[in-house]
Structure 1
Amino acid sequence: MFEKVFHLKENQTNIKTECIAGVTTFMTMAYILAVNPSILSSAGMNPTAVLLATCLASFLGTVCMGLMANLPFALSAGMGLNAFFAYTVCGNMGYPWQAALLAVFIEGLIFIILSVTNIREALFNVIPLSLKKAVSVGIGVYIAFIGLQNAGVVVNSDSTLVTIVSFRGDFHTGGICALLAILGILFTAFLYIKHVKGSILIGILATWVLGIICQLTGLYTVNPDAGYNSLLPAFAMTDFSALGDTFGQCFRFDFDGVSIINFIVVIFSFLFVDIFDTLGTLIGVCNKANMLDKEGKLKQIKPALMADAIATSAGAILGTSTTTTFVESSAGVAEGGRTGLTAIVTALLFLISMLFAPIFIAIPSFATAPALVIVGFLMFSSITEIKFTGENMIKAIPAYLCILAMPLFYSISEGISIGIISYVVLHLVSGKAKEVKPLMYILAVLFILKYIFL
């Protein structure tokens, strides 16, 4: 049966190799089960409901990838997209999380339409490569900043806006949490350098355990009124009824007092990042696995994108942010995973993880900070593919502005819009208007109108 469905011999693999690859992929991306509830709960969502929705959406999307495209890739709530959901759409823009879920659902439907047409390629090709790389870099810096902020390493300053925490002041609460986060980052980085499988997940758990030891020895003081709760996990049965707090809530949003134009901008911001994140991940991982043809194309690209799009809309209905293909799938590929059987194994592990929801939910923010910082580093590495000298400066400066805007303006969408506007303007004033594709001008005008009227 496995041979008939997944063509193992044709792909020069076997059941044992595929299973090991599936477990490896899960280990490298299981950190999302701790990080995603932590991020989305800041938007007012029930963290247990978010975890259950994330597990189900990951299971559904990864099964679709395995069966529809026969590729060894896993899907889950995308890093960066969940931050955009919580901190930009629900935070800066003030939308309720139900509205953000609706935007994700609609974005998924648009993605489904694009996945069966050639529009997807047109959108992908119109954005210059330098800006595509800049979006990845900017998101990396942005989520690393969020991780340091959530851990209390970066704090508010009236004179400089942000500064490093005073470790000596309130050492037994904020100070020790910040110190544990820094130690966790260094430990996770060490594991990653040594190519330890599941290094990010191990880093989260090790940081948490170290925090528990600090609590038991009195270095960490529990103070619920100040937001410093007990670090000891609650061993209890998963409350599966919590899923009702988010399931279908995207259809219960009232548009009274909401700008439709602004809401459309939110939808296309989700869509933009999702498209380029997914395509970039697929191309990058497939290239490492020698799955691309002589022309550098992936013949299963349409079913792969369709699986991603279905998972996004389904995840929004369940109650989680955009579900997308994870670059950590490359860990399973490195272990020999070549078919959809790898994805199926990973999907089943996500489903089983629902039983351990209380443990994942209990993980504190300072323990998830190392994951955000290290994943941010992995995304930041794309900066080496942007050329900053000579004639390339006209493309590099907009990329730089895009990267700079995301953490400083606390918004992925602002970075994207500033990058596109500056790219078009600099080409116009430099006499290179013909090098800019017509659709870029349309996007630039739309973003300018957003700043004028919204």
Structure 2
Amino acid sequence: MESFFRLKEHNTTVKTEVLAGITTFMTMAYILAVNPGMLSATGMDAGGVFTATVVSSMIATLIMALYAKYPFALAPGMGLNAFFAFTVVLGPMGKSWQFALTAVLIEGIIFILLSFVKAREAIFDSIPMNLKHAVSVGIGLFIAIIGLSGAGIVVPGNGTVLALGDLTSGPVAVALFGILVTGVLLAKNVSGAILIGIIASTLIGIPLGVTMIPEGFSILSLPPSLAPVAFKFVGMEEILSMEMLVVVFTFLFVDIFDTVGTLAGVSSKAGFLDKDGKLPRVGKALMADAVGTVAGACLGTSTVTTYVESAAGVAGGGRTGLTSLATAGMFALALFFAPLFTMIPAAATGPALVIVGLFMMSPIKKIDFEDFTEAIPAFLTIVMMPFAYSIADGIVFGMVSYVILKALTGRTKEISKVMWLLAVLFVLKFVLM
């Protein structure tokens, strides 16, 4: 492991990496319950989707671990699965889930081709350093909102976007307990503090009725069959339709900038970016989610993407592919321990996301706030991620405002050709779609 992952060079140990990988898995384990529930609303077999979710996540994360050697984990993305279920199938388009799966397959194949010609790598490299730091901060606020809302500490407000939840409720009590426990452990420099906080919150949730243990609970179970959902694609007539073009484009747009944003933000926090703001081996990291998406579509699930919860493992000290290898191992275990993993409530993982949100804030100190052509785009990137509830939309606001401000102040030499092209495409996307 030392020779393959170069642990000493990255100032880490096997113990630290494995604990970080388990922590990442625990913060994203909710997808094993959420994704089957969401996609089964379209008529897909929930058991088959569960197995497809686990196996595709494991495949993509293994590629990230052994090929790209970064501590990032992958799984079917939230938001993309909602678009799959509630827009393409159950929404105004009214297509079959087989149609949506075919669109995901086409998207994945396009991503593999784009990775070979380094198109997505060029997009990553084109983002200015100040915006890369801003993406990290924005992601911190974004995942903190996910954690707080999942625990019920904040809720949809009456006349406002968010409001304070019921602080006397069980989930909120569990979440606040988890934040305090994790905070104390971090202050005392206890290794694996975030993971311990998740476990402690899950256990304290049992007597409070937050952590539910179903009747006849069994820790072990055999994986459900993939047969009802695997390799269920539509014919060429639907593949060549205009509706398919629109769906594939939307999947492409959201996934490209969610993944690029997550890689930029988490890499900025982990110190992986070089002096020019580039991520070494970024092409290999992007290939992981491209192959994962193709595998996921074939197995029977929505688009696989790099998870922002990878920041939890990075915050726990994960610095190499051994972290993601441990996460992939946890996915493999989840096939047979599904009841155990899916019983972890959002109130128990919420504190971890809040604390990681804090960790993601540190790159804000590196942003140049004296130059307003840099500060304003960075600020818009930061605030639009949580407010629009989208990493991709935050990047769009930041990049478009960057190009406009630089152009209007006569500093066009600071705008790369890729940035010009992306800004035009962003504007056209929102005007025409």
TM-score by length of 1: 0.74
CA 296–265 in structure 1, closer or farther in 2 if over 3 Å, else same? closer
Return the match for 1:413 from 376, 388, 392: 392
Return the match for 2:3 from 3, 8, 12: 8
Mapping of 1:219-258 within 5 angstroms? Answer: 230-231=212-213, 234-241=217-224, 243=226, 247-248=230-231, 258=243
Alignment correspondent of 1:223: none
CA distance, structure 2, for counterparts of residue 110 and residue 314 of structure 1: 13
CA 425–307 in structure 1, closer or farther in 2 if over 3 Å, else same? closer
How big is the alpha-carbon RMSD for the aligned residues of Structure 1 and Structure 2? 4.1
Return the match for 1:187 from 160, 181, 191: 181
Moved more, 321-330 or 422-431: 321-330
CA-to-partner distance for each residue in 1:60-95, whole Å, 9 max, x for gaps?
A: 2344345545x37453338xxx34335677668958
Alignment correspondent of 1:75: 73
Q: Aligned pair 1:145/2:111, yes or no?
A: no
Q: Decide whether the 8 Å contact of 1:98 with 1:252 is kept in 2.
A: no
Alignment correspondent of 2:63: 64
Amino acid at match of 1:184: G
Mapping of 1:373-452 within 5 angstroms? Answer: 373-389=354-370, 391=371, 393-452=372-431
Moved more, 110-119 or 133-142: 110-119
Amino acid at match of 2:418: L
CA 64–355 in structure 1, closer or farther in 2 if over 3 Å, else same? same
Mapping of 1:152-171 within 5 angstroms? Answer: 152-167=152-167, 171=168
CA distance, structure 1, for counterparts of residue 189 and residue 277 of structure 2: 28
Residue 152 of structure 2 aligns to a residue whose secondary structure is coil
Residue 409 of structure 1: how far off its partner (Å): 2.3
Q: Decide whether the 8 Å contact of 2:71 with 2:324 is kept in 1.
A: yes
CA 7–308 in structure 1, closer or farther in 2 if over 3 Å, else same? farther
CA 404–25 in structure 1, closer or farther in 2 if over 3 Å, else same? closer
CA distance, structure 2, for counterparts of residue 262 and residue 21 of structure 1: 41
Alignment correspondent of 1:198: 192
CA distance, structure 1, for counterparts of residue 235 and residue 184 of structure 2: 46
CA distance, structure 2, for counterparts of residue 239 and residue 184 of structure 1: 32
Q: Aligned pair 1:362/2:361, yes or no?
A: no
Q: Aligned pair 1:30/2:19, yes or no?
A: no
Moved more, 398-407 or 272-281: 272-281
CA 239–355 in structure 1, closer or farther in 2 if over 3 Å, else same? closer
Amino acid at match of 2:60: G
Amino acid at match of 1:134: A
Residue 132 of structure 1: how far off its partner (Å): 2.4
CA distance, structure 2, for counterparts of residue 42 and residue 419 of structure 1: 34
Residue 397 of structure 1: how far off its partner (Å): 0.5
Q: Aligned pair 1:322/2:330, yes or no?
A: no
CA distance, structure 1, for counterparts of residue 366 and residue 351 of structure 2: 25
CA distance, structure 2, for counterparts of residue 145 and residue 9 of structure 1: 37
Alignment correspondent of 1:371: 352
Residue 221 of structure 2 aligns to a residue whose secondary structure is coil
CA 7–147 in structure 1, closer or farther in 2 if over 3 Å, else same? closer
Amino acid at match of 2:292: A
Q: Aligned pair 1:119/2:115, yes or no?
A: no
Amino acid at match of 1:147: G
CA distance, structure 1, for counterparts of residue 432 and residue 296 of structure 2: 32
CA distance, structure 2, for counterparts of residue 413 and residue 386 of structure 1: 20
Residue 44 of structure 1: how far off its partner (Å): 4.2
Residue 207 of structure 2 aligns to a residue whose secondary structure is helix
Alignment correspondent of 1:209: 203
Q: Decide whether the 8 Å contact of 2:36 with 2:47 is kept in 1.
A: no
Amino acid at match of 1:123: I
Aligned length: 415
CA-to-partner distance for each residue in 1:293-332, whole Å, 9 max, x for gaps?
A: x999887665554345323432444425534384556579
CA 214–7 in structure 1, closer or farther in 2 if over 3 Å, else same? closer
Amino acid at match of 1:24: L
Residue 3 of structure 2 aligns to a residue whose secondary structure is coil
Q: Decide whether the 8 Å contact of 1:87 with 1:410 is kept in 2.
A: no
Alignment correspondent of 2:135: 135
Q: Decide whether the 8 Å contact of 1:191 with 1:199 is kept in 2.
A: yes
Residue 204 of structure 1 aligns to a residue whose secondary structure is helix
Q: Aligned pair 1:274/2:259, yes or no?
A: yes
CA-to-partner distance for each residue in 1:331-369, whole Å, 9 max, x for gaps?
A: 7976xx87x677656544431232211111122222221
CA distance, structure 2, for counterparts of residue 127 and residue 298 of structure 1: 11
Q: Decide whether the 8 Å contact of 1:108 with 1:310 is kept in 2.
A: yes
Residue 155 of structure 1 aligns to a residue whose secondary structure is strand
